[in-house]
Amino acid sequence: MRSPVTATQSSATTSLADRFHAVRDQTEALASVLSPEDQVVQSMPDVSPTKWHRAHTTWFFETFLLLPHGHQPVEESYGYLFNSYYEAVGERHPRPDRGLVSRPSVADVADYRCRVDESMHALIESDRGSDPAIVALIELGLHHEQQHQELLLMDIKHVLSHNRFSPAYDPRPGRPPEVARELGWVDHPGGVVDIGHGGEGFHFDNEAPRHRALVQPHRLADRLVTNAEWLEFMADGGYRNPALWLSAGWHTATAEGWNAPLYWCGSNDGWSVHTLTGVHPVDPGEPVVHISYFEADAFARWAGARLPTEFEWEAHAASAPVEGNLLPSGALHPRCAGDAGSRQMFGDVWEWTVSAYAPYPRFRTAAGAVGEYNGKFMIDQQVLRGGSCVTPGGHVRATYRNFFPTGSRWLFGGVRLADDGGAR
């Protein structure tokens, strides 16, 4: 079986047309290892079928770039079926029922993608293709599609985990277990720091405007929390001790029966985990993944530490190279921290922060329907930073703000500890 991961070209070195086709081809490569039956399943309300991701990202280009320039819709019903949450565009199919949309077929969606791609190519190559407003909207669409590439992998992992035989998305042998280096700390003196995107290059609206924030003296762990450390938390009754948990977290954990991270399965032989590459024994050296904000917060309290603020995280990441175990590595799973030079700031797992997802000072939503992209979700969510092992290359940066509700576990979420002890 060929690898579903392809090399996505950098926008800095390729034309817009080449970049458009590279991103669109990556989505198709990720879906190509799945059967039509795989692509229509919805295993919970937050999961979308692979077929829907492929169609929705196509609908985005058709709706926001082609229809305003005289393009006729490929199929009128697609505007209802594949709109996600854009109220200004019109009515949409309910999110929890996306798995009920058996038609259009997977083949019909493939045809839809091809027809829209042809029209988009013509638009990009036309005189209008150099219009800064159109170029900016195409870039937004490409980064939107990269977000859905990660969601596609998150969602199909959840879908396949519900199969009694836990089939792998990309089967391969397990890796030999590893031992992570001893956890260390990186001090920060505190002070006023610059936060948010302020330079050239693409960014989402929620990363701006750039502004100053005050951080207190603190220190940040020099690697992610590992499975070995999480097993200690479990053995010490971490899931049974209400004193460690926020009230809402304890209610959720007990109601859901949590006793380990999502996808872990215990037996007399120890713990195993369902991954995109198959079911393997839990590797003690790997970063723990698929935990909620509630679990991350409880673990930090158990460890005598806390979660970082997003401003603390960005202050440390601003000078770090944007490299790590991201989707182009092909691992599709977190990896053990290497030598002391690898702080795992980017890739492996999205890192929960204690910061609520809120607008930056002077934030304004964009005009029109695209203004619904981020701003209206700035309530009841927590910020995560750093990217994961299924985040596409060239998609993440130090200012990137991901966000999910506190009880979410199917995303590739993990933990980095912080505390105030290093600079007292």
Q: Is 185 exposed, middle or buried (0-12, 13-18, 19+ CB in 10 A)?
A: middle
φ/ψ region of 373 (left if φ > 0, alpha if ψ in -120 to 50, else beta) reads alpha
- Sorted by sequence, the CB contacts under 8 Å of residue 1 that are 6+ apart come out as 33, 170, 171
Q: Is the peptide bond preceding residue 104 cis, with omega within 30 degrees of 0? A: yes
pLDDT tens string for the chain (424 positions)? 456 876 555 544 469 999 999 999 999 999 999 999 999 999 999 999 999 999 999 999 999 999 999 999 999 999 999 999 888 888 999 999 999 999 999 999 999 999 999 999 999 999 998 999 999 999 999 999 999 999 999 999 999 999 999 999 999 998 888 889 999 999 999 999 999 998 889 999 999 999 999 999 999 999 999 999 999 999 999 999 999 999 999 999 999 999 999 999 999 999 999 999 999 999 999 999 999 999 999 999 999 999 999 999 999 999 999 999 999 999 999 999 976 567 999 999 999 999 999 999 999 887 776 776 777 888 999 999 999 999 999 999 999 999 999 999 999 999 999 999 754 4
- Residue 284's identity, in one-letter code, is P
| Structure tokens, 370 | 């695209």
- Residue 352's Cβ-side half-sphere holds a number of Cα atoms within 13 Å equal to 31
Q: How far apart are the first and last CA of the chain?
A: 55
- Sorted by sequence, the CB contacts under 8 Å of residue 243 that are 6+ apart come out as none
Q: Can you tell me the distance from the alpha carbon of 313 to that of 97, in angstroms, rounded to the nearest whole number?
A: 37
User: What's the CATH architecture for 16-161?
Assistant: Up-down Bundle (1.20)
- Residue 28's Cβ-side half-sphere holds a number of Cα atoms within 13 Å equal to 15
pTM of the model: 0.94
Domain ranges of the chain: 16-161, 185-423
User: What's the CATH architecture for 185-423?
Assistant: Alpha-Beta Complex (3.90)
The residue written with tokens 């910020």 in the block is: 383
Cβ atoms within 10 Å of 393's Cβ, excluding its own = 20
